[in-house]
């Protein structure tokens, strides 16, 4: 598929063609088709470090970017340093626009996200969604570490999506079919550095004030925005047309 002919039909055809394909095959296609206009999002969760390791084994080097919201755990920064060291990677770091953060915090306070869904979405829009738009400038496709079983909002995802929110580029999820157990088996087998918070009950790690450890039997995303209903647990980075009315 030409990068200039991405539409719903071609994405559906890709999902059919790569049904049951492994992450390596999907990444090889992505590199062959889109490099050097391929970007890779990395937030240093276990899926993301697994994805970086698979890329390194393929000797594939898409542009890697990281969104620093300014509210992350210290452990996440330590892991970024360890990963850069291990793989010799260049990582583009995108920060929020400081004027927007200053205006929001001055008007609403530093922890306004606990007060309402709208204020939480406003904070995510400033600290994540807007920086992501800048990170994807020039990209014709981007890679994520999304897995289908991570959340109710991701249960019908395929390895390829048409990303309406970013100008109709292709969003590629090579690990979409991986289970959590497979992901951990991979990182252990390859001695990939991981965030120590995972060992403290954090299966999903985001901003420090919006992430808590989960207890036995809780959903894997229960610790993200734990005060909100499950159908709202997206930050806008992975919004889809079908979810637009709930997650805009």
d(CA 15, CA 68): 31
Residue 212: CB minimum distance to ligand SF4, A: 12
- Residue 200 token pair: 């403290």
- Regarding 124 and contact with ligand SF4 (CB under 6 A), the answer is yes
Smaller CB distance to ligand SF4: residue 130 or 149? 130
> Which residues in the 193-222 window bind ligand SF4 by CB under 6 A?
206-207, 209-210
d(CA 158, CA 174): 9
Return the closest-CA partner of residue 29 out of 44, 13, 49, 47: 13
Smaller CB distance to ligand SF4: residue 124 or 132? 124
- Regarding 247 and contact with ligand SF4 (CB under 6 A), the answer is no
CA distances from 92 to 81, 136, 148 (A): 13, 11, 27
Residue 222: CB minimum distance to ligand SF4, A: 15
Asked if residues 203 and 180 have their Cβ atoms less than 8 Å apart, the reply is yes
Residue 241: CB minimum distance to ligand SF4, A: 22
At residue 120's C-alpha, the angle toward residues 104 and 83, to 5°, is 95
> What residue is closest to ligand SF4 based on CB?
207
- Regarding 128 and contact with ligand SF4 (CB under 6 A), the answer is yes
Residue 81: CB minimum distance to ligand SF4, A: 21
**Residue 235 known to be catalytic:** yes
Residue 28: CB minimum distance to ligand SF4, A: 33
At residue 127's C-alpha, the angle toward residues 124 and 132, to 5°, is 95
Q: Which of 42, 124, 210, 235 is catalytic?
A: 235
Which of 23, 63, 71, 131 is the binder for ligand SF4 (CB under 6 A)?
71
At residue 124's C-alpha, the angle toward residues 113 and 53, to 5°, is 125
Compose the 103-122 pattern: x for residues touching ligand SF4 by CB under 6 A, - for all others.
Answer: ----------x------x--
Smaller CB distance to ligand SF4: residue 121 or 140? 121
Return the closest-CA partner of residue 237 out of 179, 178, 114, 150: 150
Asked if residues 196 and 75 have their Cβ atoms less than 8 Å apart, the reply is yes
What amino acid positions are annotated as catalytic residues? 235
Question: Could you list the residues that contact ligand SF4 (CB under 6 A)?
Answer: 69, 71, 113, 120, 123-124, 127-128, 206-207, 209-210, 235
């Amino acid at each position: 598929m030409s990068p200039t002919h991405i539409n719903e039909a071609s994405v559906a055809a890709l999902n059919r063609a790569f049904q049951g394909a492994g992450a390596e095959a999907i990444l090889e296609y992505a590199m062959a088709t889109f490099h050097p206009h391929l970007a890779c999002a990395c937030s240093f969760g276990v899926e993301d470090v697994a994805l970086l390791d698979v890329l390194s084994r393929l000797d594939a080097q898409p542009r890697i970017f990281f969104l620093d919201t300014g509210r992350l755990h210290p452990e996440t920064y330590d892991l970024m340093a360890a990963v850069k060291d291990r793989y010799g990677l260049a990582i583009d770091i995108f920060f929020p626009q400081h004027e927007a953060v200053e205006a929001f915090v001055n008007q609403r306070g530093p922890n306004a996200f606990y007060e309402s869904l709208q204020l939480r979405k406003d904070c995510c829009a400033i600290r994540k969604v807007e920086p992501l738009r800048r990170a994807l400038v020039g990209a014709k496709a981007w890679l994520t570490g999304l897995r289908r079983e991570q959340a109710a909002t991701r249960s019908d995802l395929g390895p390829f999506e048409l990303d309406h929110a970013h100008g109709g580029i292709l969003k590629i999820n090579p690990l979409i079919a991986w289970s959590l157990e497979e992901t951990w088996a991979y990182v252990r087998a390859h001695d990939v550095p991981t965030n120590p918070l995972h060992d403290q009950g954090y299966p999903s790690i985001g901003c420090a004030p919006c992430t808590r450890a989960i207890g036995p039997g809780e959903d894997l995303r229960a610790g993200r925005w734990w005060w909100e209903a499950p159908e709202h647990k997206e930050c806008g980075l992975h919004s889809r047309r079908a979810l637009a009315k709930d997650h805009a």
